[in-house]
Amino acid sequence: MLIDDDEDDIRIFKVIVKQLDPNITVTTATHGTEAFNVLREEHFTAPDLIFLDINMPVMNGFEFLAEMKADSGLAHVPVIMYSTSSIGRDVGKAYDLGASLYVVKPFDIYDYEVLLKKIFALDWNLFNEKVTKEKFLLGGES
């Protein structure tokens, strides 16, 4: 699942994911409230991963993450904070709220593809335990 209000980012993300693996289904939402509406639908299966932008209208990424991690039915889903910001306070807040990984959105399409390949190649079973802060940030510096 991708939660992001930027239409261009959503389109690019979907194109790259389909190129990497056409069997992956990407569900999208443009803010946290919309994402909860989708996630809490009666027959919706929780996603394997959630990519979550920080700056969105209605409910931002941090608000969504805090509420999601407090929800026993969703708390187990790994969340990748997915933002253009690599500001230390944003990275630290995402870590403290329980995100599994913090990724800085690349500006180059090739770098974007390489980054998503790395993320999809990770063993997400290892993310049941909280990662160290040193391994938390991918694609930027705090």
Question: Which among 43, 34, 52, 58 is positioned nearest to 94, based on CA atoms?
Answer: 52
Measured distance CA(83)–CA(101) in Å, rounded: 11
- Mean pLDDT for 46-53 is 94
- Mean pLDDT for 23-43 is 93
Q: What is the pLDDT of residues 17-30, one digit of tens each?
A: 999 999 999 999 99
Measured distance CA(43)–CA(123) in Å, rounded: 27
Res 138: pLDDT: 64
Domains and their CATH numbers in the chain:
2-138 (3.40.50.2300)
Q: Quick check: 137 pLDDT over 80?
A: no
Measured distance CA(34)–CA(131) in Å, rounded: 28
Q: Quick check: 84 pLDDT over 70?
A: yes
- Mean pLDDT for 92-121 is 91
